[in-house]
Amino acid sequence: MSETFEPDGQGRITLGMEQRRVTGIETPSTAVVIGMGSRVEIWPEARWDSYNADAQGRFTEFADRVISGR
C-alpha cells in the first residue's frame, strides 16, 4: 500500500484505520520506520524483525557466492 502523506507541524504522520488494518499495526503497538530520501516504510515491529532476519541471511548467502565466484 503506497500513499502520499504530509507531516504535521511536528513531523508526524497519522495512519488511518485502513492503513493500520492492512499492515497489521494494532493500537497500541510498536512500529518500525525505515526509509531513504523522500520514501519511508512503516512496518509492525515483529513483521520487520522476521523480514530483516531473513533478508540478512539471504544477503550473507549471496555475498558468499559472489566472493567465492560460485
Does residue 53 form part of some domain?
yes
Mean per-residue pLDDT for 3-20?
A: 88
- What is the rounded distance in angstroms from the CA atom of residue 51 to the CA atom of residue 54? 5
Report the pLDDT value the prediction gives residue 50, as an integer from 0 to 100. 93
Q: Residue 39 belongs to what domain range?
A: 17-68
Burial label, 19 (beta-carbon count in 10 A; 0-12, 13-18, 19+): middle
**Mean pLDDT score across all residues of the chain:** 88
- What is the rounded distance in angstroms from the CA atom of residue 45 to the CA atom of residue 31? 5
Q: Is the pLDDT of residue 54 over 80?
A: yes
The SS3 assignment for 62 reads: helix
pTM above 0.75, yes or no: no
Does residue 46 form part of some domain?
yes
Instruction: Determine if the peptide bond prior to 44 is cis (ω within 30°).
Output: no
- Site of grid cell 488511518: 16
Tally of structural domains, the chain = 1
Does residue 31 form part of some domain?
yes
